[in-house]
Amino acid sequence: MSENPRRPVSRNWLLRAAAAVGATGLAASLVGGGAIAGGAAPIKAPPPAFNPPEAAGKTRTALLAGGCFWGLQGVYEHVRGVKQVIAGYSGGAAATAHYDIVGTETTGHAETVKIIYDPALISYGEILRIYFSVATDPTQLNAQYPDQGSSYRGEIFYMNPVQKAVATRYIAQLNAAHVYSRPIATRTDPNPGFYRAEDYHQDYLYHHPDAVYIATYDMPKVKALKALLPGDYRATAVLSS
Task: Identify which of 92, 47, 87, 105 has the alpha carbon closest to the alpha carbon of residue 206.
Answer: 87
Assign 3-state DSSP to the chain and report helix, strand, coil percentages, each to 5.
Answer: 40, 15, 45
Residue 98: how many CA atoms within 13 Å on its side-chain side?
A: 4
Give catalytic status of residue 240 as yes or no: no
Buried b / exposed e over 181-201, threshold 16 CB at 10 Å, is eeebbbbbbeebebbebeeeb
Answer whether 36's CB lies under 8 Å from 29's CB: yes
Task: Identify which of 123, 103, 64, 86 has the alpha carbon closest to the alpha carbon of residue 198.
Answer: 86
Rounded Cα distance, 171 and 234, in Å: 26
Catalytic residue of the set 40, 64, 68, 228: 68
| Residues annotated catalytic, as ranges | 68
